[in-house]
Amino acid sequence: MHNTVKETLSTLKELLPLVRNEEADIIICPNFVSLSEASVFLSDSAVNLGAQNMHYEDKGAFTGEVSPVFLKEIGVKYIILGHSERRHIFKESNDLVNKKIKSALRHKLQPILCVGETLEEREKDVTFDVIREQVLCSLGDLKSDDLKDLIIAYEPVWAIGTGKTATKEDANEAIGYIRKLLKDSFGEDTA
Protein backbone atom coordinates (compact mmCIF):
# COMPACT_ATOMS: atom_id res chain seq x y z
CA MET A 1 0.00 0.00 0.00
CA HIS A 2 2.55 2.48 -1.28
CA ASN A 3 2.62 5.18 -3.95
CA THR A 4 -0.17 7.36 -5.22
CA VAL A 5 -1.01 7.24 -8.91
CA LYS A 6 1.37 10.16 -9.56
CA GLU A 7 4.15 8.47 -7.59
CA THR A 8 3.59 5.22 -9.47
CA LEU A 9 3.83 6.97 -12.84
CA SER A 10 6.95 8.82 -11.70
CA THR A 11 8.55 5.52 -10.70
CA LEU A 12 7.62 3.96 -14.04
CA LYS A 13 9.15 6.92 -15.91
CA GLU A 14 12.41 6.24 -14.06
CA LEU A 15 12.19 2.47 -14.54
CA LEU A 16 11.43 2.14 -18.24
CA PRO A 17 14.71 3.61 -19.57
CA LEU A 18 16.57 1.07 -17.41
CA VAL A 19 14.75 -1.93 -18.90
CA ARG A 20 17.06 -3.35 -21.53
CA ASN A 21 17.21 -7.07 -20.78
CA GLU A 22 14.59 -8.78 -22.90
CA GLU A 23 15.71 -12.20 -21.64
CA ALA A 24 13.95 -11.61 -18.32
CA ASP A 25 10.25 -11.16 -17.70
CA ILE A 26 9.74 -7.92 -15.83
CA ILE A 27 6.51 -7.56 -13.89
CA ILE A 28 5.38 -4.59 -11.84
CA CYS A 29 2.40 -4.87 -9.51
CA PRO A 30 1.24 -1.43 -8.37
CA ASN A 31 -1.68 -0.86 -6.01
CA PHE A 32 -5.21 -1.13 -7.39
CA VAL A 33 -5.87 2.59 -7.82
CA SER A 34 -2.71 2.91 -9.94
CA LEU A 35 -3.33 -0.09 -12.20
CA SER A 36 -5.36 1.61 -14.91
CA GLU A 37 -2.92 4.50 -15.36
CA ALA A 38 0.05 2.12 -15.17
CA SER A 39 -1.55 -0.06 -17.84
CA VAL A 40 -1.76 2.86 -20.26
CA PHE A 41 1.79 3.94 -19.44
CA LEU A 42 3.23 0.43 -19.91
CA SER A 43 1.23 -0.49 -23.02
CA ASP A 44 4.17 -0.22 -25.45
CA SER A 45 6.91 -1.37 -23.09
CA ALA A 46 8.64 -4.62 -22.19
CA VAL A 47 7.32 -4.36 -18.62
CA ASN A 48 4.31 -6.53 -17.78
CA LEU A 49 1.51 -5.45 -15.48
CA GLY A 50 0.41 -7.48 -12.49
CA ALA A 51 -2.08 -6.99 -9.68
CA GLN A 52 -1.43 -7.54 -5.99
CA ASN A 53 -4.55 -9.64 -5.42
CA MET A 54 -8.00 -10.44 -6.80
CA HIS A 55 -11.29 -12.05 -5.83
CA TYR A 56 -12.18 -15.43 -7.26
CA GLU A 57 -15.70 -14.43 -8.37
CA ASP A 58 -16.36 -12.50 -11.59
CA LYS A 59 -18.96 -10.21 -9.99
CA GLY A 60 -21.27 -9.97 -7.04
CA ALA A 61 -21.84 -8.42 -3.64
CA PHE A 62 -18.17 -8.39 -2.59
CA THR A 63 -17.60 -4.80 -1.51
CA GLY A 64 -13.95 -3.79 -1.70
CA GLU A 65 -12.89 -6.76 -3.83
CA VAL A 66 -11.60 -6.68 -7.40
CA SER A 67 -12.84 -9.02 -10.11
CA PRO A 68 -10.47 -10.85 -12.47
CA VAL A 69 -12.70 -9.56 -15.28
CA PHE A 70 -11.90 -5.96 -14.32
CA LEU A 71 -8.18 -6.70 -14.14
CA LYS A 72 -8.10 -8.49 -17.48
CA GLU A 73 -9.93 -5.60 -19.18
CA ILE A 74 -7.27 -3.05 -18.18
CA GLY A 75 -4.36 -5.20 -19.33
CA VAL A 76 -3.27 -7.02 -16.19
CA LYS A 77 -1.43 -10.25 -17.05
CA TYR A 78 -0.17 -11.47 -13.67
CA ILE A 79 -1.77 -11.84 -10.22
CA ILE A 80 0.08 -12.20 -6.91
CA LEU A 81 -1.83 -14.74 -4.81
CA GLY A 82 -1.10 -16.13 -1.36
CA HIS A 83 1.23 -13.29 -0.42
CA SER A 84 2.33 -13.55 3.22
CA GLU A 85 0.55 -10.33 4.15
CA ARG A 86 -2.70 -11.68 2.72
CA ARG A 87 -2.18 -14.98 4.54
CA HIS A 88 -1.13 -13.54 7.90
CA ILE A 89 -2.86 -10.17 8.21
CA PHE A 90 -6.08 -11.00 6.33
CA LYS A 91 -6.13 -14.70 7.29
CA GLU A 92 -6.44 -15.98 3.73
CA SER A 93 -6.44 -19.76 3.72
CA ASN A 94 -4.86 -22.14 1.25
CA ASP A 95 -8.40 -23.06 0.14
CA LEU A 96 -9.14 -19.42 -0.70
CA VAL A 97 -5.83 -19.13 -2.56
CA ASN A 98 -6.80 -22.26 -4.50
CA LYS A 99 -10.10 -20.65 -5.58
CA LYS A 100 -8.24 -17.54 -6.68
CA ILE A 101 -5.68 -19.56 -8.67
CA LYS A 102 -8.47 -21.44 -10.46
CA SER A 103 -10.21 -18.16 -11.28
CA ALA A 104 -6.99 -16.57 -12.53
CA LEU A 105 -6.31 -19.54 -14.80
CA ARG A 106 -9.91 -19.52 -16.07
CA HIS A 107 -9.43 -15.87 -17.06
CA LYS A 108 -6.00 -16.48 -18.64
CA LEU A 109 -4.23 -14.47 -15.94
CA GLN A 110 -0.88 -15.83 -14.80
CA PRO A 111 -0.91 -16.51 -11.06
CA ILE A 112 2.16 -15.88 -8.95
CA LEU A 113 1.72 -18.15 -5.91
CA CYS A 114 3.70 -16.95 -2.90
CA VAL A 115 4.79 -19.49 -0.31
CA GLY A 116 7.12 -19.21 2.66
CA GLU A 117 7.58 -19.57 6.37
CA THR A 118 7.61 -17.08 9.23
CA LEU A 119 10.56 -16.61 11.59
CA GLU A 120 8.80 -18.63 14.28
CA GLU A 121 8.17 -21.49 11.82
CA ARG A 122 11.78 -21.38 10.65
CA GLU A 123 13.08 -21.48 14.22
CA LYS A 124 10.82 -24.48 14.92
CA ASP A 125 12.40 -26.18 11.88
CA VAL A 126 9.06 -26.66 10.10
CA THR A 127 9.96 -24.75 6.94
CA PHE A 128 9.34 -27.67 4.61
CA ASP A 129 6.10 -28.62 6.38
CA VAL A 130 4.78 -25.07 5.89
CA ILE A 131 5.87 -24.90 2.25
CA ARG A 132 4.44 -28.36 1.55
CA GLU A 133 1.04 -27.42 2.96
CA GLN A 134 0.95 -24.06 1.17
CA VAL A 135 1.96 -25.50 -2.20
CA LEU A 136 -0.12 -28.66 -2.21
CA CYS A 137 -3.26 -27.15 -0.65
CA SER A 138 -3.09 -23.98 -2.75
CA LEU A 139 -2.82 -26.10 -5.87
CA GLY A 140 -5.49 -28.50 -4.56
CA ASP A 141 -7.25 -30.42 -7.29
CA LEU A 142 -5.45 -28.75 -10.18
CA LYS A 143 -3.82 -30.89 -12.87
CA SER A 144 -0.33 -30.55 -14.33
CA ASP A 145 -1.76 -28.92 -17.49
CA ASP A 146 -3.30 -26.22 -15.29
CA LEU A 147 0.10 -25.32 -13.87
CA LYS A 148 2.01 -24.60 -17.07
CA ASP A 149 1.51 -20.85 -16.59
CA LEU A 150 1.84 -20.80 -12.80
CA ILE A 151 4.77 -19.06 -11.12
CA ILE A 152 5.70 -20.05 -7.58
CA ALA A 153 7.61 -17.44 -5.62
CA TYR A 154 9.45 -18.44 -2.47
CA GLU A 155 8.84 -15.63 0.00
CA PRO A 156 10.92 -16.12 3.17
CA VAL A 157 8.65 -14.16 5.50
CA TRP A 158 11.31 -14.39 8.22
CA ALA A 159 13.61 -12.19 6.14
CA ILE A 160 11.13 -9.32 5.78
CA GLY A 161 11.72 -6.54 8.28
CA THR A 162 13.52 -8.76 10.78
CA GLY A 163 17.09 -7.76 10.02
CA LYS A 164 17.79 -11.35 8.93
CA THR A 165 18.74 -12.03 5.33
CA ALA A 166 17.86 -15.03 3.22
CA THR A 167 20.98 -16.28 1.47
CA LYS A 168 20.99 -17.72 -2.02
CA GLU A 169 21.53 -21.10 -0.35
CA ASP A 170 18.35 -20.60 1.72
CA ALA A 171 16.39 -19.67 -1.39
CA ASN A 172 17.83 -22.50 -3.49
CA GLU A 173 17.06 -25.05 -0.77
CA ALA A 174 13.42 -23.92 -0.59
CA ILE A 175 13.07 -23.72 -4.38
CA GLY A 176 14.61 -27.20 -4.72
CA TYR A 177 12.08 -28.53 -2.23
CA ILE A 178 9.21 -26.86 -4.12
CA ARG A 179 10.42 -28.42 -7.38
CA LYS A 180 10.52 -31.85 -5.68
CA LEU A 181 6.97 -31.38 -4.42
CA LEU A 182 5.82 -30.45 -7.91
CA LYS A 183 7.68 -33.36 -9.47
CA ASP A 184 6.19 -35.84 -7.00
CA SER A 185 2.67 -34.44 -7.34
CA PHE A 186 2.46 -33.22 -10.94
CA GLY A 187 5.37 -34.77 -12.84
CA GLU A 188 8.82 -33.69 -13.92
CA ASP A 189 7.67 -31.47 -16.79
CA THR A 190 5.59 -29.37 -14.41
CA ALA A 191 8.44 -29.13 -11.92
Provide the strand spans (E) within the chain.
26-28, 47-51, 78-81, 110-115, 151-154
Give the CA distances from residue 65 to residues 20, 59, 70, 94, in Å, rounded to whole numbers and listed in that order: 35, 9, 11, 18
**DSSP code for 143:** -
For residue 31, give the nearest of 7, 62, 48, 63 by alpha carbon. 7
Active-site residue (options: 55, 83, 92, 117): 83
88 is catalytic: no
Active-site residue (options: 155, 169, 173, 188): 155
Q: How far apart are CA 72 and CA 108, in angstroms?
A: 8
85 is catalytic: no
Q: How far apart are CA 2 and CA 167, in angstroms?
A: 26
Q: Among all residues, which ones are annotated catalytic?
A: 83, 155
